[in-house]
Structure 1
Amino acid sequence: MIGKLTGTLLEKNPPEVLLDCHGVGYEVNVPMSTFYNLPAVGERVSLLTQFIVREDAQLLYGFATAQERQAFRELIKISGVGPRTALSILSGMGVADLAQAITLQEAGRLVKVPGIGKKTAERLLLELKGKLGADIGAVRGAANSDAQADILQALLALGYNDKEAAAALKALPAEVGVSEGIKMALKALAK
């Protein structure tokens, strides 16, 4: 129903923002990834939205990108995952990280998000397999080959976070072997 709002940002109280659109103030819940990229209060902002009607409330959720909104829509289709949980997932990890975790079937990365237990993570992996990656497009930080997937797993197992591991993986040559790739990635991360 309400697909996009453009107006002046009046308030920022995570995860909610107040957006003035021609004299009407809209309270919009946003994931932290969108929140951190918002301009200063008083500036113009444009958000893609998802309008959700419940028995006791009518809620607006806002997103900076179409990929975030699409991921949110896919998440809320899953039994046991409501809008707040979906927002928490998108706040805890970016869309590319979520798509990568689903592509590589890594429940451990999803469990790190507050409010996501082992069973919910496994349900997310099962129900989003093939959907999220296909709908959102190529995973930016995803491994292009089996060797890169193994290198990524090794870096995560060594305690590096998702962003560090993905950055190291991007710096590697495309056809590098697993052992050589791990050595090169560790050297890059040590700097």
Structure 2
Amino acid sequence: MIGRISGTLIERTPPNVLIDVGGVGYEIQIPMSCFYSLPEQGESVVLHTHFVVREDAQLLFGFTDKISRELFRELIKANGVGPKLGLTILSGMSASQVLTCVQQSDISSLVTLPGVGKKTAERLVVELKDRLAKFAKSTDVPMPDTAHGDLPLNAENNAKQEAIEALTALGYKPAQAEKMVKLVAKPESTSEVLIRDALKSSM
């Protein structure tokens, strides 16, 4: 089990990052709720990880805080919730928002997430309410504004495209992802800000 990765962040393409550890690059998928708190490329980073081994792949999921990782592990224990859906849930909501929805049986908010239908949302509430009681006092994961002023036109278009690709990777249909990005797009927005705002607008 790989439980922690510490190294240099060399690539960040939501929802994936590449971290160099002693000359070895680890590809890690992380939820957008954690992506916003990553350092800049070239800087040191520490991620708490969850390793998944399948017949056709070995996948590494990373989180900037232990609470998000533990919540991810609880989510994928629920019937019908795999790692990809767990990642999507924690991309559309912060850890504390997921906990609130489960504790308050807020089915309507959960079903706004891609891949979460009414039955899945109801299962999450029923199966996780008691197990997530220990997380009730958890604080939200910080999501700082990552915009750094106006972007050139090409950079603006690239930011939109990266945001659309990231949302598609999280389970949204391409046309839906494009619509979400267009609704929140601003000339100065980076791809990470577009993704964050698009996910917020879908709630």
Could you say if the C-alpha distance between residues 120 and 103 of structure 1 is closer, same or farther in structure 2, counting changes exceeding 3 Å? same
Partner of 1:42: 42
Partner of 2:93: 93
Q: Map Cα deviations across residues 89-143 of structure 1 (whole Å, 9 max, x no partner).
A: 0001011111111111111111111111111000000000111132x241558xx
TM-score (norm 2): 0.67
Partner of 2:105: 105
Partner of 1:115: 115
Partner of 2:137: 138
Mapped to 2, the partners of 1:119 and 1:137 lie a distance apart of: 23
Is contact 2:99-2:136 (8 Å) kept? Answer: no
Residue 137 of structure 2 aligns to a residue whose secondary structure is coil
| Letter matched to residue 87 of structure 2 | L
**Greater RCO, CA 8 A, separation 6+:** 2
Mapped to 2, the partners of 1:106 and 1:54 lie a distance apart of: 32
Residue 96 of structure 2 aligns to a residue whose secondary structure is helix
| Letter matched to residue 129 of structure 2 | K
Mapped to 1, the partners of 2:21 and 2:133 lie a distance apart of: 34
| Letter matched to residue 98 of structure 2 | L
Is contact 2:48-2:69 (8 Å) kept? Answer: yes
Partner of 1:18: 18
| Letter matched to residue 116 of structure 1 | V
Partner of 1:32: 32
Could you say if the C-alpha distance between residues 43 and 53 of structure 1 is closer, same or farther in structure 2, counting changes exceeding 3 Å? same
Partner of 1:8: 8
Partner of 2:67: 67
Mapped to 2, the partners of 1:9 and 1:140 lie a distance apart of: 25
| Letter matched to residue 132 of structure 2 | L
Mapped to 2, the partners of 1:41 and 1:35 lie a distance apart of: 12
Mapped to 1, the partners of 2:133 and 2:13 lie a distance apart of: 31
Mapped to 2, the partners of 1:117 and 1:101 lie a distance apart of: 14
Is contact 1:133-1:139 (8 Å) kept? Answer: no
Unaligned 5+ segments in structure 2 are 141-203
Residue 17 of structure 2 aligns to a residue whose secondary structure is strand
Q: Map Cα deviations across residues 127-166 of structure 1 (whole Å, 9 max, x no partner).
A: 00111132x241558xxxxxxxxxxxxxxxxxxxxxxxxx
RMSD of equivalent CA atoms: 1.2
Is contact 1:89-1:113 (8 Å) kept? Answer: yes
| Letter matched to residue 50 of structure 1 | H
Residue 51 of structure 1 aligns to a residue whose secondary structure is strand
Mapped to 2, the partners of 1:64 and 1:120 lie a distance apart of: 26
